[in-house]
Amino acid sequence: MDFRELEERLVAFRDARGWKSYHTPKNLAISAAVELGELLEHFQWESDEEILEAVKNPGKKEAIADEIADVVIYLTLLAHELGISLDEAIERKIKKNAEKYPVRASG
């Protein structure tokens, strides 16, 4: 699935429930930040090793995946409301990053 297909599914889901009036750019940006905070709670006070061990538990891994999905959902809807193609924006950003951080030969 590409971002355009995801966007279409999310907008249809939202519109079927009459939530569009709540999905202003400001509200969507705030909601993404709130969900990111909920994601961060899973990592608070844990070392990288502890986190990697914790996600071996299917329930913990699903809880983290749910929070990641919430963040992506809100950002996808925000991009939709602002008329931003995520496919194009990500491709453009990858190109900018490649120019800014070129691969250097090692050795």
Give me the pLDDT at residue 107, please: 57
Q: Could you tell me if residue 107 is inside a domain?
A: no
Distances (CA, A) of 92 to 1, 13, 87, 98: 19, 28, 9, 10
CATH number at 75 reads 1.10.287.1080
pLDDT digits (tens, 9 = 90+) for 69-79: 999 999 999 99
Quick one: what percent of the chain has pLDDT higher than 70?
A: 98
Q: How many domains does the chain have?
A: 1
Determine the structural domain holding residue 10 and report its residue range. Answer: 3-100
Q: Could you tell me if residue 55 is inside a domain?
A: yes
Q: Could you tell me if residue 80 is inside a domain?
A: yes
- Is a pLDDT exceeding 80 seen at residue 7? yes
Q: Could you tell me if residue 91 is inside a domain?
A: yes
Give me the pLDDT at residue 102, please: 93
Q: Could you tell me if residue 44 is inside a domain?
A: yes
Q: Could you tell me if residue 94 is inside a domain?
A: yes
pTM: 0.90
Q: How confident is the model at residue 3 (pLDDT cuts 50, 70, 90)?
A: confident
Our separate counts of H helices and E strands in the chain read 5, 0
